[in-house]
Amino acid sequence: MQIDITPGDVTVAAISGSVDSLTAEQLMQALGKAVSDNQVRLVADFSEVVYTSSAGLRALLATLKDARRQGGDFRLAGVQPAVLRVLELSGFTSILKLYGDVGSAVASFDAELQ
């Protein structure tokens, strides 16, 4: 798994590979650091994520809770069908906001302010 974080008014984390028991801690630390640096409006670009396990789901949930606790939010963009299926089966589609692409997810933060 690779993570590239681009800070900004809305911070984008481009993630590629698999988010599983071997990589979930790395993801949680990277996203947790962004939140602790007050980058609480977060979008994870999942367009290159091919698989996620329950460990990956825990990392997403932890990030969501941390961001919301500090007045922000955490959203997913570009989720591939196999990963979307896992999110649907686990009920995460009712917890996380999902968008077709990064641009839409980033724009959704500004749309809420209007």
Tell me the C-alpha distance between 12 and 14, whole Å. 6
- Domains along the chain with CATH numbers: 2-113 (3.30.750.24)
Asked if 28 and 61 touch (Cβ cutoff 8 Å), the reply is: no
pLDDT tier for residue 113 given thresholds of 50, 70 and 90: low
- For residues 113 and 91, what is the distance between their CA atoms, to the nearest angstrom? 27
What does the pLDDT look like over 59-87, one tens digit per residue?
999 999 999 999 999 999 999 999 999 99
- Residues 2-33 have pLDDT tens digits of 999 999 999 999 999 999 999 999 999 999 99
The pLDDT, as a whole number, for residue 110 is 87
| Sequential DSSP letters for 67-79 | HHHTT-EEEEES-
Q: Length of the chain in residues, anyone?
A: 114
Check whether 114 has a pLDDT greater than 60.
no
Residue found under tokens 């007045």: 71
Q: Structure pTM?
A: 0.94
